[in-house]
A and B are shown apart, each in its own frame.
Chain A
Amino acid sequence: MSDFIPAPIAQLPWKTILLLFVLASFGFVVLYSAAGGSLTPWAGLHMIRFMVFVVMAIVLSRFKESFWKTMAFPVYGVVVLMLLGVELIGAVGGGSQRWLNLGFIRLQPSELMKVAIILAVARFYDLLPPSQIRTWGAIWPLFALLAVPCALILLQPDLGTTITVIAGALTIAFLAGLPLRLFIGGGAAIAVLAPLAYFFMLEEYQQRRVTTFLNPENDPLGSGYHISQSKIAIGSGGLFGKGFMNGTQSHLDYLPEGHTDFVFATMAEEWGLMGGILVLFCFFLLFRWGLGVAMNAKTRFSQLTAAGLTVTIFFYVAINLMMVMGLAPVVGIPLPFLSHGGSSMMTIMICVGILMSIERHPGRRGGAFG
């Protein structure tokens, strides 16, 4: 086979690309149905974007680890500036705004921050001497890195993204070897502080989302509506679904955001539990690949980066699915490869691109402190 295909192409991670293609195609099919059997406005664009971003990911995969290392802090800085820019434009233009309009895409800097924070935190723990890992010096820079972007994203206000950013950074800190007791203690602290945060930090509409997900039927027309309708869509799909183009919840507009955050419900209504299992299995393969890349990576930076990126994608999937199944509040996080939306797909494909780059250049054992 390799006789006929040029080496650069044969060397591409075809398995991974095929996996992503399966997911994105399924998304295409679901979006096609959600639009009432039309390529516009979602399905066609979805596939075009996927193709563009796959090429982008392949291009990213050619960069070496050293490039990512060099870029880690500058990228972080640029994205922070972009977040600030969004905030300023919002303040001047009146009303909050989350994106920068670049013409071909409406770029959400908060999405890019999910990648930037991973690179920056991984780079930080890469630079930190092993002997320092159990000291205060291993902790405060982490918070410093998180503080400004999280504050800016919360201002937007975008709770879902904030959580993803923090979770990605903490995962790297965990993997970098920060003392376990910090995480156990932190978990305990959250258990105590969460109620306080709930009452003093959340907007009222966010509070309602938190409380109603536990019992959406109590508020069927308010914020429980999303979850109720999503569960109805999934539940009425049954084992094999109502069939392609036969979803009533989505076609009759009962399911809100059926092409973005609740695309999984749209899918499940028409494809049933089988469709859901297929999606879950694809994601399982993706994360197994991602963690595999991390395990195989030889340098500390690439290990931490690969694991952090994998976990970031995982958070997208886990929070989104928990939300649509009524296990988590509605926080507005899309489902990778299925939800319609340029910014999130770009973020995820950047993650995938960097993962591919690390897979391609696992590096040599023994880093700066080896």
Chain B
Amino acid sequence: MKAAKTISSAMQEMTFTRRATVIGGLQVGVGVLLAARMAYISIAENERYKLLSESNRVNLTLVPPRRGWLIDRNGKPIANNKTDFRVDIIPDRLRDKDKTVATLAELLSLDQEELERINKELAQANSFQPIQVATGLDWEEYAAVSVRLPDLPGVSPRQGFSRNYPTGPAIGHLVGYVGIASAEDYKENPDPILITPGYKIGKDALEKIFEDRLQGKPGAKRVEVTARGKIVRELNTHPDTPGKPLQLTLDIDLQEYAARRLGVESGSVVVIDTHSGDILAMASMPSFDPNSFSDGISTVEWGMLSEDDHVPLRNKILKGLYPPGSTVKPMHAMAFLEAGVQPSDTIICGGGRRIGNRFFHCWGNHGQVDMAKGIYQSCDSYFYHFAQEVGFAKVADYAKLLGMGQEFPLPVSSQFYGTVPSPAWLEKKYKRKWQTYDTVNSSIGQGYYLANPLQLAVMAARLATGRKLMPHLLIDKNRKPAPSLGFTDDHIAYVREAMSEVVNGRGTAGRAKLPLDNVLMAGKTGTAQVVSLSVSNGKRSAPWKYRDHGLFICFAPFDNPRYACAVVIEHGGGSGAAYPVARDVMTFLYDREKAMNVLTDLEKSWGGTIQERMDADMAAYRARLNPEKASADSAPSATPEAATAGTEASAGD
């Protein structure tokens, strides 16, 4: 109050003027600050912001390259690309997940199963990884999504190419499949193309092994986009460079035929060109459809495939190991010949034979048996005797020479190469001495003997030609002829003759005779016991799991071999399940129409083509699953490799 008295209006006037000046000054100061700030942003940082503005405006869209085709020896496509309208979701651009998915479900009429897959993938997704909603859409569906884009942030409809395997399941194991790059792939190589919707990389087998070659170079499209992702106009495009094609030695028609001919069995067929070693067919059935794998497989389909006791996820040609059984007999005979055994040397089979101080049974009573009869009648006693005489170590060397137990330099992800038992091997592996019964078991392809179907086919081809043919999957026009194995022509001719007798004469596979006038096929049957006789007799009347494996190796024409083939039918109940398949596949090579007629009738009795049967199985599986769907647990993410590999075959007697 004391100070207050001294203040007058005049003084207030002065204060006002003084303070108003201060405020004016402050205002100018703020103005200068703003001008300086603006100058700094627009002049000093101009370049940076120009760039940011451009990167806002211009959206560089990578165009996934078309993958290189896989073609067969005649140029027919094994894997190609089809134009495809597709829709993906990019999770980190998604605003309202549930609403977006619901809208898409309505527009694209997605079923419950698809929705579950999408939601599951969305829940697990890395934000940058595109999630496939649907592929193979028609133009109307694609357009329906495209026009609603401004309301569907994070949804990306695209016109692109998707991998197509015209023969589907027939080729699954060999080519593998393609799929979206995984988070690990992207971590390893953070190339933006990897997370471009529609871009797939090879995930297994040939598609994976030849990824670099098949991949191609992505194209790019620069478009002007609004903040909400609406494309205003296209600025320029740079086309993609398709991947290079890869020509395989396969004859895709034969491959498809073989796969279809296997029918409802769990088995495999390998056909080798005996001039070059080219693999003409390698079908392992049942199989998976690489088309549906490449499109993103549903958990239900995955569940069905992984639960199937016919193991459709395993390539049985390379990873199925079976006791070769009697199919090794011609090869053992060749070993005996090379070791000096005369073809005319005979033994007496009395329903078996005493070797050392034990009596070993034969499957029949063959009386006097020479080498030819030993082969065409598949007399065990003959092989017990001469294997013992020659010594199995020597026989084993020939087995290896002819391809048993060998790993071949093929572009495949893995091969199980089995076992050729020998004294040295036994000592090393089981720390025990080779016994007479080991010779006996091994001499007829049982015991520790294990081979995969490819090895059986290679054995047939080498035996037929006497040359060290190597199996090939890739076409090479400049391939040198395979070197001779050093067998004499007489020996080769003798074995061929004996094997022809198996099919065309007094042998065990009369029904395998080709329905052709001018081509005679040579072959050898084999039966591999799965469980001991005390459990089951292994015949077709036994439960599937206990039935014997049926095997058959063959080549044709028998006197001038052109093709060699091996067929294995798991739990076929004996070789009778295998050689009709071999017969029809070999027939196909000479007379397609005749072979197809047989197949058409068979497929009618099986319930349709592979695809039709797979669809029916799928429907049945779904129907069975549905009541318990609520509690059904989801399967792990789908890769065929996850299937456990192994063999159910146990050694025979």
Contacts and interface: CB of A to CB of B under 8 A. Distances in A.
A252 B232 contact: yes
Contacts of A370: 9
A284 B42 contact: no
B232 A236 contact: no
Contacts of A311: 23
A78 to B, nearest CB: 28
Interface in A258-304: 268-269, 272-273, 276-277, 280, 283-284, 287-288, 291, 294-295, 300, 303-304
Contact of B7 (A134, A307, A321): A134
Interface stretch (B44-52, B376-384, B538-546): B44-52
A249 interface: yes
Nearest to A177: B15
A367 B9 contact: yes
Main secondary structure of the interface of A (DSSP, over half): helix
Nearest to B37: A325
Interface string A113-143: 0000000000000000011111100000000
Interface stretch (A99-107, A157-165, A227-235): A227-235
A283 B32 CA distance: 12
A20 B56 CA distance: 35
Nearest to B38: A276
A71 to B, nearest CB: 22
A283 B27 CA distance: 10
A273 B23 CA distance: 26
Contact of B1 (A135, A248, A321): A135
B620 interface: no
Contact of A232 (B12, B30, B56): B56
Contact of A175 (B20, B53, B224): B20
A177 B15 CA distance: 6
A276 B19 CA distance: 29
Contacts of A229: 56
A252 B53 CA distance: 11
A96 interface: no
A237 interface: yes
Report which residue of B1, B9, B34 has the largest number of chain A beta carbons within 10 angstroms of its beta carbon: B34
Contacts of A195: none
A310 B466 CA distance: 108
Nearest to B42: A273
Contacts of B31: 280, 283-284
A135 B4 contact: yes
A25 interface: no
Contacts of A231: 41, 49
A199 interface: no
A288 B31 CA distance: 12
B8 interface: yes
A53 interface: no
B46 to A, nearest CB: 5
Contacts of A135: 1, 4
Interface string B607-651: 000000000000000000000000000000000000000000000
Contacts of A272: 42
Given A133-B7, A235-B50, A311-B23, A303 B30 contact: no
B17 interface: yes
A252 B225 contact: yes
B16 interface: yes
B35 A131 contact: no
Contact of A130 (B8, B52, B56): B8
Given A248-B57, A284-B31, A291 B38 contact: no
B589 interface: no
A234 B43 CA distance: 10
A131 B227 contact: no
B28 A132 contact: no
Contacts of A318: 27, 30, 34
A176 B46 contact: no
Contacts of B19: 174-175, 177
A77 interface: no
B20 A234 contact: no
Interface string A35-74: 0000000000000000000000000000000000000000
B5 interface: yes
A130 B50 CA distance: 57
A32 interface: no
A280 B12 contact: no
A252 B56 contact: yes
A321 B34 contact: yes
A369 interface: yes
Report which residue of A132, A171, A235, A276 has the largest number of chain B beta carbons within 10 angstroms of its beta carbon: A235
Contact of A177 (B7, B27, B28): B7
A176 B226 CA distance: 52
B39 interface: yes
B228 interface: yes
Interface in B45-94: 45-46, 48-50, 52-54, 56-57
A169 to B, nearest CB: 14
B12 A236 contact: no
B234 to A, nearest CB: 15
B3 interface: yes
Contacts of B27: 287, 291, 314, 318
A239 interface: yes
A322 interface: yes
Interface string B414-435: 0000000000000000000000
A238 interface: yes
A273 B53 contact: no
Contacts of A174: 19, 23
A325 B38 contact: yes
Contacts of B411: none
A326 B15 CA distance: 35
B147 interface: no
Given A134-B7, A327-B37, 20 more contacts: A130-B12, A131-B5, A132-B4, A134-B3, A175-B19, A176-B16, A177-B7, A177-B16, A235-B41, A236-B46, A236-B50, A238-B46, A248-B56, A252-B224, A272-B42, A291-B20, A303-B16, A321-B34, A322-B34, A325-B38
9 contacts: A175-B20, A235-B42, A235-B49, A253-B226, A280-B34, A287-B24, A291-B20, A294-B20, A311-B23
Q: Which 4 A-B pairs have the closest CB atoms?
A: A235-B49, A236-B53, A131-B4, A253-B227
